[in-house]
Amino acid sequence: MSGERANEASRRTVPLLEIGGTHVTAALVRIGAGESARIVATRRAPLDGHSAADVITAALLRAGRSLPAAPPGRWAVALPGPFDYARGIARYRGVGKFDALDGLDLGALLRSGLPHCTGVAFLNDAEAFTRGECAEGAGRGHARVVGITLGTGVGSAFLRDGSAVTDGPTVPAQGRVDLLEYGGRPLEDTVSRRALIAAYEQLSGRRRDVREIAEAARGGDAAARRVLADAFGALGRTLSPWLRRFGAGAVVVGGSMTGSWDLIGPPLTAGLAAGGENAVAPVLAQRPQEAGLIGAARYAAGPAADEVIQQGGAGR
């Protein structure tokens, strides 16, 4: 077999769903050994995480079925926790989004409803993002990478030599930064969309969304600047000891809030540096829109997924 034909034989097209609280993205990603991933097709649709279960699942299936036809194969599905990624079962009890899916065997539903689906590899959305940045972005070349996503809340993944670390003394429980505390309270009481809105309202008497708070800060609003500095400084100080324990070579940050990196990057960097010498400075994602898709596709296509797929079922 010629080199060109061998390369072609090594390539595969991975269908996937990337699920968020407000949207679902379906995509086809072309993966080949030693090559950059190529996103062949994407379809993005709104998704209301507060809807009834049948409405949510219908939206997921509709998105998947909207893609161009692909050969039979394993789908990748990246979505936030709490979720039993090994069994494909939702565990969204009392978390404020996707509560209607709690206890649902989403793996079985997707296997039976997605086109040409021979199995489903589930993984956390922050892990998918971090895998993508390690493969083709700001984490490339580092053995130990921490990925942080800043959106509605704080997502995280700790990757060591390409594998997610979710337990042990060097990472927070389940590898989840959102389970940590700051000042004796859950971290997301200080760093999250709802926390920033509440803090700004308390200081200013005005209710604004995060983007508006950032615009106000750029315009000289002292309350807005203080809210952002306090929140992201707290995130840095909370992260710092865990980065040292893990031996992180890179901290890659993505998510919608990084659109205000000029405002949140400096206090986050200062908070990390407060932990002592040799602190790792955070860097912005190089593939912010694509990293999650690339990471999920590579996971589903790689040997790591084979180790945890059960009966054509779910991934870790």
pLDDT attached to residue 249: 96
Are 117 and 222 in a shared domain? no
CB neighbourhood size of 67 (10 A): 19
Query: How many residues appear in the chain?
Result: 316
Are 120 and 197 in a shared domain? no
Q: For residue 133, is it within any domain?
A: no
State the Cα–Cα distance between residues 1 and 7, nearest whole angstrom: 10
State the Cα–Cα distance between residues 7 and 23, nearest whole angstrom: 35
Are 189 and 294 in a shared domain? no
Give the domain range for residue 223: 138-284
* pLDDT per position as a tens digit, 265-288: 999 999 999 877 778 999 999 999
Are 302 and 248 in a shared domain? no
Are 298 and 279 in a shared domain? no
* pLDDT per position as a tens digit, 136-145: 999 999 999 9
Are 269 and 145 in a shared domain? yes
Query: What is the CATH number for 254?
Result: 3.30.420.40
Q: For residue 130, is it within any domain?
A: no
* pLDDT per position as a tens digit, 154-190: 999 999 999 999 999 999 999 999 999 999 999 999 9
pLDDT attached to residue 303: 66
pLDDT attached to residue 308: 40
Are 33 and 85 in a shared domain? yes
Q: For residue 70, is it within any domain?
A: yes
Q: For residue 315, is it within any domain?
A: no
Q: For residue 314, is it within any domain?
A: no
Q: For residue 180, is it within any domain?
A: yes
- pLDDT exceeds 50 at position 193: yes
Are 121 and 147 in a shared domain? no
- Per-residue confidence band for 307, with pLDDT thresholds at 50, 70 and 90: very low
Are 166 and 229 in a shared domain? yes
Position of tokens 């084979």? 306
pLDDT attached to residue 2: 52
State the Cα–Cα distance between residues 171 and 241, nearest whole angstrom: 10
Are 113 and 197 in a shared domain? no
CA distance readout (Å), 310 to 107, 117, 270, 289: 10, 14, 44, 30
State the Cα–Cα distance between residues 190 and 207, nearest whole angstrom: 16
Are 121 and 7 in a shared domain? yes
Based on its alpha-carbon atoms, the radius of gyration of the chain, rounded to whole angstroms, reads: 20
* pLDDT per position as a tens digit, 117-163: 999 999 999 999 999 999 999 999 999 999 999 998 999 999 999 99
pLDDT attached to residue 10: 61
* Number of domains the chain is built from: 2
pLDDT attached to residue 304: 52
- pLDDT exceeds 60 at position 316: no
State the Cα–Cα distance between residues 235 and 196, nearest whole angstrom: 13
Q: For residue 244, is it within any domain?
A: yes
Mean pLDDT of 55-64: 97
Q: For residue 311, is it within any domain?
A: no
Phi-psi region of 235 (alpha: psi -120 to 50; beta: other; left: phi over 0): alpha
Are 272 and 154 in a shared domain? yes
Which tokens hold the place of 207? 């209710």
CB neighbourhood size of 96 (10 A): 12
